Protein backbone atom coordinates (compact mmCIF):
# COMPACT_ATOMS: atom_id res chain seq x y z
CA UNK A 1 0.00 0.00 0.00
CA UNK A 2 1.24 3.48 -0.84
CA UNK A 3 1.93 5.45 2.36
CA UNK A 4 0.30 8.46 0.73
CA UNK A 5 -3.04 6.64 0.90
CA UNK A 6 -2.90 6.90 4.70
CA UNK A 7 -1.68 10.48 4.94
CA UNK A 8 -3.64 13.70 5.27
CA UNK A 9 -1.80 16.53 3.58
CA UNK A 10 -2.01 19.28 1.00
CA UNK A 11 0.64 21.03 -1.00
CA UNK A 12 -0.05 24.66 -1.74
CA UNK A 13 1.65 26.91 -4.28
CA UNK A 14 0.24 30.41 -4.09
CA UNK A 15 0.19 33.37 -6.48
CA UNK A 16 0.22 31.24 -9.63
CA UNK A 17 -0.99 32.66 -12.93
CA UNK A 18 -1.49 30.63 -16.11
CA UNK A 19 -2.21 31.88 -19.61
CA UNK A 20 -1.94 30.73 -23.22
CA UNK A 21 -0.37 32.78 -26.01
CA UNK A 22 -0.53 32.54 -29.78
CA UNK A 23 2.80 33.04 -31.56
CA UNK A 24 3.10 33.95 -35.23
CA UNK A 25 5.98 32.70 -37.42
CA UNK A 26 8.94 34.99 -38.02
CA UNK A 27 8.82 34.46 -41.76
CA UNK A 28 5.35 33.63 -43.13
CA UNK A 29 2.03 32.12 -42.08
CA UNK A 30 2.09 29.90 -45.18
CA UNK A 31 4.62 27.26 -46.18
CA UNK A 32 5.12 24.48 -48.71
CA UNK A 33 7.33 21.38 -48.96
CA UNK A 34 10.96 21.68 -47.72
CA UNK A 35 10.44 25.20 -46.31
CA UNK A 36 11.21 26.32 -42.77
CA UNK A 37 8.87 27.79 -40.15
CA UNK A 38 10.52 29.80 -37.34
CA UNK A 39 9.04 30.91 -34.01
CA UNK A 40 10.50 32.99 -31.19
CA UNK A 41 9.42 31.50 -27.87
CA UNK A 42 8.44 33.72 -24.90
CA UNK A 43 11.38 35.11 -22.94
CA UNK A 44 11.58 35.87 -19.20
CA UNK A 45 8.79 33.39 -18.52
CA UNK A 46 8.09 29.92 -17.21
CA UNK A 47 7.38 28.11 -20.47
CA UNK A 48 5.47 24.83 -20.36
CA UNK A 49 7.24 23.01 -23.20
CA UNK A 50 4.69 20.17 -23.15
CA UNK A 51 1.90 22.63 -23.98
CA UNK A 52 3.27 23.68 -27.37
CA UNK A 53 0.74 23.17 -30.15
CA UNK A 54 1.65 23.83 -33.78
CA UNK A 55 -1.63 24.72 -35.49
CA UNK A 56 -2.25 25.08 -39.23
CA UNK A 57 -4.53 24.39 -42.14
CA UNK A 58 -3.27 21.85 -44.68
CA UNK A 59 -4.43 21.34 -48.23
CA UNK A 60 -3.18 19.29 -51.15
CA UNK A 61 -3.16 19.53 -54.95
CA UNK A 62 -2.60 16.93 -57.63
CA UNK A 63 -4.00 13.55 -58.67
CA UNK A 64 -6.14 12.28 -55.79
CA UNK A 65 -3.54 13.74 -53.42
CA UNK A 66 -3.84 12.59 -49.81
CA UNK A 67 -2.19 13.76 -46.61
CA UNK A 68 -0.19 11.10 -44.70
CA UNK A 69 -1.44 9.39 -41.57
CA UNK A 70 -0.46 11.61 -38.59
CA UNK A 71 -0.14 15.22 -39.67
CA UNK A 72 3.25 15.41 -37.88
CA UNK A 73 4.56 13.36 -40.82
CA UNK A 74 4.80 16.67 -42.70
CA UNK A 75 7.73 17.68 -40.44
CA UNK A 76 11.23 16.52 -41.41
CA UNK A 77 13.30 18.28 -38.73
CA UNK A 78 12.84 20.22 -35.47
CA UNK A 79 15.64 22.45 -34.18
CA UNK A 80 15.85 24.60 -31.05
CA UNK A 81 18.26 27.54 -30.83
CA UNK A 82 19.25 29.80 -27.94
CA UNK A 83 20.52 33.19 -29.06
CA UNK A 84 21.14 31.72 -32.52
CA UNK A 85 23.21 28.80 -31.15
CA UNK A 86 21.83 25.28 -31.58
CA UNK A 87 20.95 23.59 -28.31
CA UNK A 88 19.00 20.82 -30.02
CA UNK A 89 20.31 20.23 -33.53
CA UNK A 90 17.43 17.99 -34.49
CA UNK A 91 17.88 15.34 -37.14
CA UNK A 92 16.66 14.65 -40.63
CA UNK A 93 13.81 12.16 -41.02
CA UNK A 94 12.15 13.31 -37.80
CA UNK A 95 8.87 11.98 -39.19
CA UNK A 96 10.35 8.53 -39.90
CA UNK A 97 11.57 8.11 -36.30
CA UNK A 98 8.17 9.31 -35.10
CA UNK A 99 6.48 6.60 -37.17
CA UNK A 100 8.95 3.98 -35.95
CA UNK A 101 8.18 4.83 -32.33
CA UNK A 102 4.46 4.64 -33.02
CA UNK A 103 4.87 1.01 -34.07
CA UNK A 104 6.45 -0.16 -30.80
CA UNK A 105 5.42 2.51 -28.30
CA UNK A 106 2.00 3.47 -29.61
CA UNK A 107 0.68 6.74 -31.09
CA UNK A 108 1.06 9.82 -28.91
CA UNK A 109 -0.95 12.17 -31.11
CA UNK A 110 -4.40 13.59 -30.51
CA UNK A 111 -6.72 11.87 -33.00
CA UNK A 112 -9.04 14.89 -33.24
CA UNK A 113 -6.41 17.19 -34.74
CA UNK A 114 -3.69 14.84 -35.95
CA UNK A 115 -5.22 13.30 -39.12
CA UNK A 116 -4.46 9.77 -37.84
CA UNK A 117 -5.46 7.83 -40.98
CA UNK A 118 -5.20 8.30 -44.75
CA UNK A 119 -8.51 9.43 -46.25
CA UNK A 120 -9.92 7.62 -49.30
CA UNK A 121 -13.41 8.94 -50.18
CA UNK A 122 -14.98 10.60 -47.14
CA UNK A 123 -12.75 12.58 -44.81
CA UNK A 124 -13.40 12.26 -41.10
CA UNK A 125 -12.21 15.86 -40.61
CA UNK A 126 -15.25 17.60 -42.08
CA UNK A 127 -17.19 14.76 -43.76
CA UNK A 128 -16.32 16.09 -47.21
CA UNK A 129 -16.69 13.53 -50.00
CA UNK A 130 -14.08 13.20 -52.74
CA UNK A 131 -14.81 11.69 -56.14
CA UNK A 132 -12.60 10.97 -59.13
CA UNK A 133 -9.15 12.44 -58.67
CA UNK A 134 -10.12 15.35 -56.40
CA UNK A 135 -7.28 16.13 -53.94
CA UNK A 136 -7.75 16.37 -50.18
CA UNK A 137 -8.48 20.00 -49.30
CA UNK A 138 -9.75 21.95 -46.30
CA UNK A 139 -11.01 25.49 -45.98
CA UNK A 140 -8.62 28.12 -44.66
CA UNK A 141 -11.32 30.81 -44.45
CA UNK A 142 -11.74 32.74 -41.21
CA UNK A 143 -8.38 31.53 -39.90
CA UNK A 144 -9.42 27.88 -39.72
CA UNK A 145 -6.75 25.46 -38.50
CA UNK A 146 -8.05 21.92 -38.71
CA UNK A 147 -4.76 20.31 -37.72
CA UNK A 148 -2.39 20.47 -34.79
CA UNK A 149 0.84 18.84 -33.61
CA UNK A 150 0.83 18.66 -29.82
CA UNK A 151 3.39 15.95 -29.09
CA UNK A 152 7.02 16.52 -30.02
CA UNK A 153 10.13 14.40 -29.87
CA UNK A 154 13.52 15.84 -28.92
CA UNK A 155 14.03 18.90 -26.69
CA UNK A 156 10.44 20.18 -26.73
CA UNK A 157 8.93 16.87 -25.67
CA UNK A 158 11.57 15.43 -23.32
CA UNK A 159 13.43 18.25 -21.55
CA UNK A 160 13.29 18.04 -17.76
CA UNK A 161 11.86 19.90 -16.04
CA UNK A 162 9.07 20.33 -18.57
CA UNK A 163 8.50 23.91 -17.38
CA UNK A 164 11.58 25.88 -18.39
CA UNK A 165 12.54 29.31 -17.02
CA UNK A 166 13.48 31.11 -20.25
CA UNK A 167 14.87 34.08 -18.31
CA UNK A 168 17.94 31.93 -17.59
CA UNK A 169 18.97 31.58 -21.25
CA UNK A 170 19.22 33.58 -24.46
CA UNK A 171 16.07 34.00 -26.54
CA UNK A 172 14.76 30.64 -27.72
CA UNK A 173 13.83 29.94 -31.33
CA UNK A 174 12.24 26.77 -32.66
CA UNK A 175 12.61 25.92 -36.35
CA UNK A 176 10.39 23.41 -38.12
CA UNK A 177 11.64 22.14 -41.50
CA UNK A 178 8.87 20.63 -43.60
CA UNK A 179 9.20 17.35 -45.45
CA UNK A 180 9.16 16.99 -49.21
CA UNK A 181 6.11 16.11 -51.26
CA UNK A 182 7.20 12.45 -51.29
CA UNK A 183 5.42 11.94 -47.95
CA UNK A 184 2.07 12.42 -49.73
CA UNK A 185 0.13 9.80 -51.66
CA UNK A 186 -1.11 10.24 -55.23
CA UNK A 187 -3.70 7.88 -56.76
CA UNK A 188 -5.42 7.20 -60.06
CA UNK A 189 -8.83 7.34 -58.38
CA UNK A 190 -10.67 6.84 -55.11
CA UNK A 191 -12.52 3.54 -55.60
CA UNK A 192 -11.93 0.59 -53.30
CA UNK A 193 -9.58 -1.89 -54.91
CA UNK A 194 -11.50 -4.39 -57.01
CA UNK A 195 -14.45 -2.10 -57.76
CA UNK A 196 -12.91 0.65 -59.85
CA UNK A 197 -10.45 -0.98 -62.19
CA UNK A 198 -7.90 1.64 -63.21
CA UNK A 199 -9.57 4.13 -60.83
CA UNK A 200 -8.59 2.16 -57.72
CA UNK A 201 -7.26 4.15 -54.79
CA UNK A 202 -4.16 1.93 -54.74
CA UNK A 203 -3.52 2.31 -58.49
CA UNK A 204 -0.72 4.60 -59.67
CA UNK A 205 -1.76 7.77 -61.51
CA UNK A 206 -0.37 8.69 -64.91
CA UNK A 207 1.61 11.44 -63.18
CA UNK A 208 2.24 11.52 -59.42
CA UNK A 209 2.08 15.27 -58.82
CA UNK A 210 0.73 15.67 -55.28
CA UNK A 211 1.83 18.79 -53.37
CA UNK A 212 0.84 20.32 -50.03
CA UNK A 213 0.51 23.82 -48.60
CA UNK A 214 0.19 24.91 -44.99
CA UNK A 215 -1.60 28.14 -44.09
CA UNK A 216 -2.79 29.99 -40.97
CA UNK A 217 0.33 28.68 -39.21
CA UNK A 218 0.67 29.52 -35.52
CA UNK A 219 2.21 28.14 -32.33
CA UNK A 220 0.21 28.17 -29.10
CA UNK A 221 1.99 27.85 -25.78
CA UNK A 222 1.22 28.00 -22.07
CA UNK A 223 3.13 30.41 -19.86
CA UNK A 224 3.11 30.23 -16.07
CA UNK A 225 3.79 33.07 -13.67
CA UNK A 226 4.78 33.01 -9.98
CA UNK A 227 4.36 36.16 -7.94
CA UNK A 228 6.67 34.81 -5.25
CA UNK A 229 10.43 35.30 -5.68
CA UNK A 230 11.24 32.09 -3.80
CA UNK A 231 11.61 30.01 -6.98
CA UNK A 232 13.98 32.54 -8.55
CA UNK A 233 16.04 32.62 -5.36
CA UNK A 234 16.32 28.82 -5.27
CA UNK A 235 17.56 28.69 -8.87
CA UNK A 236 20.04 31.50 -8.29
CA UNK A 237 21.38 29.75 -5.20
CA UNK A 238 21.77 26.49 -7.12
CA UNK A 239 23.74 28.22 -9.88
CA UNK A 240 25.91 29.93 -7.29
CA UNK A 241 26.66 26.67 -5.44
CA UNK A 242 27.14 24.29 -8.38
CA UNK A 243 27.87 26.64 -11.25
CA UNK A 244 24.94 25.64 -13.44
CA UNK A 245 21.47 24.17 -13.75
CA UNK A 246 21.33 20.99 -15.81
CA UNK A 247 18.39 20.26 -18.12
CA UNK A 248 18.57 16.76 -19.67
CA UNK A 249 16.71 16.03 -22.89
CA UNK A 250 16.60 13.43 -25.64
CA UNK A 251 17.71 13.85 -29.23
CA UNK A 252 18.88 11.59 -32.05
CA UNK A 253 21.24 11.28 -34.97
CA UNK A 254 20.11 9.67 -38.21
CA UNK A 255 22.11 7.53 -40.65
CA UNK A 256 20.73 6.43 -44.00
CA UNK A 257 22.22 3.85 -46.34
CA UNK A 258 21.47 1.49 -49.21
CA UNK A 259 21.96 -1.67 -47.19
CA UNK A 260 24.11 -4.46 -48.60
CA UNK A 261 24.49 -6.72 -45.58
CA UNK A 262 26.34 -4.27 -43.30
CA UNK A 263 25.67 -0.60 -42.56
CA UNK A 264 28.15 1.37 -40.46
CA UNK A 265 27.52 4.37 -38.19
CA UNK A 266 29.50 6.35 -35.63
CA UNK A 267 28.30 8.02 -32.42
CA UNK A 268 30.02 10.18 -29.80
CA UNK A 269 27.77 11.14 -26.88
CA UNK A 270 27.51 11.06 -23.10
CA UNK A 271 24.62 8.60 -23.00
CA UNK A 272 23.62 6.41 -25.95
CA UNK A 273 20.22 5.07 -24.89
CA UNK A 274 18.67 3.31 -27.89
CA UNK A 275 19.38 2.40 -31.49
CA UNK A 276 16.45 2.23 -33.89
CA UNK A 277 16.38 0.71 -37.38
CA UNK A 278 13.73 0.81 -40.11
CA UNK A 279 13.81 -0.84 -43.53
CA UNK A 280 12.12 0.43 -46.68
CA UNK A 281 11.90 -1.18 -50.11
CA UNK A 282 13.61 0.49 -53.05
CA UNK A 283 11.46 3.25 -54.57
CA UNK A 284 10.10 4.42 -51.21
CA UNK A 285 10.99 8.02 -52.09
CA UNK A 286 9.02 7.98 -55.36
CA UNK A 287 5.56 9.37 -54.81
CA UNK A 288 2.77 6.93 -55.54
CA UNK A 289 -0.53 5.52 -54.30
CA UNK A 290 -0.99 4.38 -50.70
CA UNK A 291 -0.51 0.75 -49.76
CA UNK A 292 -3.11 -1.38 -48.00
CA UNK A 293 -1.90 -2.53 -44.59
CA UNK A 294 -1.91 -6.34 -44.71
CA UNK A 295 -5.02 -7.97 -43.32
CA UNK A 296 -7.37 -5.02 -43.87
CA UNK A 297 -10.00 -4.59 -46.57
CA UNK A 298 -8.59 -4.88 -50.06
CA UNK A 299 -11.13 -6.15 -52.59
CA UNK A 300 -14.49 -4.51 -53.03
CA UNK A 301 -17.67 -6.31 -54.03
CA UNK A 302 -20.53 -5.82 -56.47
CA UNK A 303 -24.11 -5.51 -55.29
CA UNK A 304 -26.95 -6.99 -57.28
CA UNK A 305 -30.69 -6.37 -57.18
CA UNK A 306 -31.34 -9.79 -58.64
CA UNK A 307 -31.74 -11.44 -62.05
CA UNK A 308 -27.96 -11.71 -62.25
CA UNK A 309 -27.56 -8.05 -63.11
CA UNK A 310 -24.84 -6.24 -61.21
CA UNK A 311 -25.49 -2.67 -60.20
CA UNK A 312 -23.00 0.12 -59.59
CA UNK A 313 -19.95 -1.25 -57.74
CA UNK A 314 -20.14 -0.63 -54.01
CA UNK A 315 -17.41 -0.46 -51.41
CA UNK A 316 -18.41 -3.57 -49.52
CA UNK A 317 -14.93 -4.81 -48.80
CA UNK A 318 -13.56 -8.10 -47.55
CA UNK A 319 -10.58 -8.20 -45.18
CA UNK A 320 -7.54 -10.27 -46.13
CA UNK A 321 -7.81 -12.15 -42.84
CA UNK A 322 -10.94 -14.02 -41.71
CA UNK A 323 -14.16 -12.23 -42.59
CA UNK A 324 -14.96 -11.68 -38.92
CA UNK A 325 -12.20 -9.08 -38.77
CA UNK A 326 -9.30 -10.63 -36.88
CA UNK A 327 -7.37 -7.89 -34.98
CA UNK A 328 -10.06 -5.36 -36.00
CA UNK A 329 -9.13 -5.71 -39.66
CA UNK A 330 -12.73 -5.51 -40.88
CA UNK A 331 -12.04 -1.95 -42.02
CA UNK A 332 -9.84 0.04 -44.38
CA UNK A 333 -6.31 1.04 -43.40
CA UNK A 334 -3.67 2.55 -45.65
CA UNK A 335 -0.04 3.54 -45.31
CA UNK A 336 2.08 5.79 -47.51
CA UNK A 337 5.01 4.30 -49.45
CA UNK A 338 7.42 6.63 -47.63
CA UNK A 339 6.41 5.22 -44.23
CA UNK A 340 5.97 1.57 -45.15
CA UNK A 341 8.60 -0.34 -43.17
CA UNK A 342 9.02 -3.81 -44.65
CA UNK A 343 11.45 -6.71 -44.60
CA UNK A 344 12.54 -7.36 -48.20
CA UNK A 345 14.30 -10.73 -48.23
CA UNK A 346 16.16 -12.92 -50.67
CA UNK A 347 14.34 -16.00 -49.42
CA UNK A 348 17.22 -17.39 -47.37
CA UNK A 349 17.93 -17.33 -43.64
CA UNK A 350 17.28 -13.87 -42.18
CA UNK A 351 19.24 -12.64 -39.16
CA UNK A 352 20.20 -9.38 -37.45
CA UNK A 353 23.04 -8.37 -35.12
CA UNK A 354 24.54 -5.09 -33.96
CA UNK A 355 28.28 -4.70 -33.55
CA UNK A 356 29.33 -1.87 -31.22
CA UNK A 357 33.11 -1.60 -31.45
CA UNK A 358 34.16 -5.13 -30.50
CA UNK A 359 30.89 -6.15 -28.82
CA UNK A 360 27.92 -7.93 -30.38
CA UNK A 361 24.30 -7.18 -29.46
CA UNK A 362 22.68 -9.61 -29.07
CA UNK A 363 25.36 -12.23 -28.57
CA UNK A 364 23.85 -14.29 -31.39
CA UNK A 365 22.44 -13.69 -34.85
CA UNK A 366 18.77 -13.09 -34.03
CA UNK A 367 15.96 -14.00 -36.39
CA UNK A 368 12.97 -11.76 -37.08
CA UNK A 369 10.84 -12.98 -34.17
CA UNK A 370 13.72 -12.80 -31.69
CA UNK A 371 14.49 -9.25 -32.80
CA UNK A 372 10.85 -8.27 -32.29
CA UNK A 373 11.05 -9.61 -28.71
CA UNK A 374 14.31 -7.73 -28.11
CA UNK A 375 12.75 -4.55 -29.54
CA UNK A 376 9.67 -4.78 -27.32
CA UNK A 377 11.93 -5.33 -24.31
CA UNK A 378 13.73 -2.11 -25.27
CA UNK A 379 10.65 0.14 -25.01
CA UNK A 380 7.89 0.83 -22.53
CA UNK A 381 5.93 -2.43 -22.33
CA UNK A 382 2.72 -0.68 -21.22
CA UNK A 383 1.74 -0.52 -24.91
CA UNK A 384 0.67 -3.76 -26.57
CA UNK A 385 0.83 -3.40 -30.36
CA UNK A 386 -2.31 -4.80 -31.96
CA UNK A 387 -0.69 -6.17 -35.07
CA UNK A 388 -0.04 -9.59 -36.52
CA UNK A 389 3.39 -10.98 -37.32
CA UNK A 390 2.44 -10.67 -40.99
CA UNK A 391 1.69 -6.96 -40.54
CA UNK A 392 4.90 -6.42 -38.60
CA UNK A 393 7.03 -7.93 -41.36
CA UNK A 394 5.16 -6.32 -44.27
CA UNK A 395 4.24 -2.83 -43.02
CA UNK A 396 5.76 -2.11 -39.59
CA UNK A 397 9.23 -3.65 -39.60
CA UNK A 398 10.95 -1.62 -36.86
CA UNK A 399 13.79 -2.74 -34.59
CA UNK A 400 15.13 -1.25 -31.37
CA UNK A 401 18.13 -2.05 -29.18
CA UNK A 402 18.20 -0.49 -25.69
CA UNK A 403 21.70 0.26 -24.37
CA UNK A 404 20.57 1.82 -21.08
CA UNK A 405 18.66 0.83 -17.96
CA UNK A 406 14.98 0.01 -18.42
CA UNK A 407 12.50 2.69 -17.44
CA UNK A 408 13.71 5.44 -19.70
CA UNK A 409 13.74 8.44 -17.35
CA UNK A 410 15.43 11.43 -18.99
CA UNK A 411 16.85 12.41 -15.59
CA UNK A 412 18.89 9.19 -15.41
CA UNK A 413 22.03 8.96 -17.56
CA UNK A 414 22.64 5.22 -17.87
CA UNK A 415 23.42 4.76 -21.55
CA UNK A 416 26.79 4.13 -23.17
CA UNK A 417 29.27 7.00 -22.76
CA UNK A 418 31.08 7.01 -26.10
CA UNK A 419 32.79 10.42 -25.94
CA UNK A 420 36.25 8.98 -25.35
CA UNK A 421 36.01 6.06 -27.73
CA UNK A 422 33.84 7.51 -30.54
CA UNK A 423 31.79 4.34 -30.87
CA UNK A 424 31.91 2.69 -34.30
CA UNK A 425 28.85 0.57 -34.89
CA UNK A 426 27.44 -1.56 -37.66
CA UNK A 427 24.18 -3.36 -38.27
CA UNK A 428 24.91 -6.71 -39.87
CA UNK A 429 22.21 -8.80 -41.54
CA UNK A 430 21.78 -11.90 -43.66
CA UNK A 431 18.98 -12.58 -46.10
CA UNK A 432 17.98 -8.91 -46.60
CA UNK A 433 17.63 -7.83 -50.24
CA UNK A 434 20.63 -5.82 -51.39
CA UNK A 435 19.77 -2.16 -51.94
CA UNK A 436 17.11 -2.03 -49.22
CA UNK A 437 16.89 1.45 -47.73
CA UNK A 438 18.03 1.30 -44.10
CA UNK A 439 17.69 4.18 -41.66
CA UNK A 440 19.43 3.97 -38.28
CA UNK A 441 18.65 6.40 -35.46
CA UNK A 442 20.99 6.73 -32.47
CA UNK A 443 18.90 8.12 -29.61
CA UNK A 444 20.85 9.80 -26.82
CA UNK A 445 20.44 11.96 -23.72
CA UNK A 446 22.06 15.38 -23.91
CA UNK A 447 22.31 18.11 -21.26
CA UNK A 448 21.76 21.84 -21.40
CA UNK A 449 23.69 23.60 -18.65
CA UNK A 450 22.55 27.09 -17.69
CA UNK A 451 24.94 29.35 -15.84
CA UNK A 452 25.13 32.95 -14.69
CA UNK A 453 24.38 35.85 -17.03
CA UNK A 454 22.34 33.63 -19.39
CA UNK A 455 25.33 31.54 -20.35
CA UNK A 456 24.58 28.06 -21.65
CA UNK A 457 26.54 24.95 -22.59
CA UNK A 458 25.51 21.81 -24.45
CA UNK A 459 26.88 18.39 -23.54
CA UNK A 460 26.01 15.81 -26.12
pLDDT for residue 240: 87
For 263, the 3-state DSSP assignment is strand
Q: Which is higher by pLDDT, 382 or 40?
A: 40
Output the CATH code of domain 14-459: 2.70.9.10
Quote the pTM value: 0.92
Q: Domain ranges in the chain?
A: 14-459
Nearest-angstrom CA–CA distance, 184 and 137? 13
| Per-residue pLDDT tens digits for 159-202 | 999 999 999 999 999 999 999 999 999 999 998 887 656 788 99
Average per-residue pLDDT in the chain? 91
| Per-residue pLDDT tens digits for 276-324 | 999 999 899 999 999 999 999 887 665 555 555 544 555 567 888 988 7
Per residue, the 3-state secondary structure of 391-410, as one string, reads HHHHHECEEEEECCCCCCCC
| H-helix or E-strand spanning residue 278 | strand 272-280
pLDDT for residue 312: 52
DSSP at 134:
P
Contact assessment for residue 288 and residue 335, using Cβ atoms and an 8 Å cutoff: no
Burial 383-413 (b: 16+ CB within 10 A, else e): eebebbeebbbbbbbbbbbbbbeeebebeeb
CA torsion 183→188→194→196, rounded to 10°? 150
Amino acid sequence: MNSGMLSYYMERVQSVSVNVFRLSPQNSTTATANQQIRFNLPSNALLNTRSLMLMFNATTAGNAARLPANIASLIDRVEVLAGGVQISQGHNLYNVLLKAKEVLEGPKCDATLSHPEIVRTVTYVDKQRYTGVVPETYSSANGETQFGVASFDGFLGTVEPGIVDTSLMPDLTVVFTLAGNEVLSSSAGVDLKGTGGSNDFTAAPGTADATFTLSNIRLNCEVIGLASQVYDAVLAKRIQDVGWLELPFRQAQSFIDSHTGSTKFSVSCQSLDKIWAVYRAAGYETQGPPLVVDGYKVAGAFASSGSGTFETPTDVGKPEYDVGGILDTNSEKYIGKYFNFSRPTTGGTVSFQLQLNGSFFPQFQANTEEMYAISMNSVDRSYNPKMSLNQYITNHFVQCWRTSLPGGSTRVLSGLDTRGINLAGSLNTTGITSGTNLVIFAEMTSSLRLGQNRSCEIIN
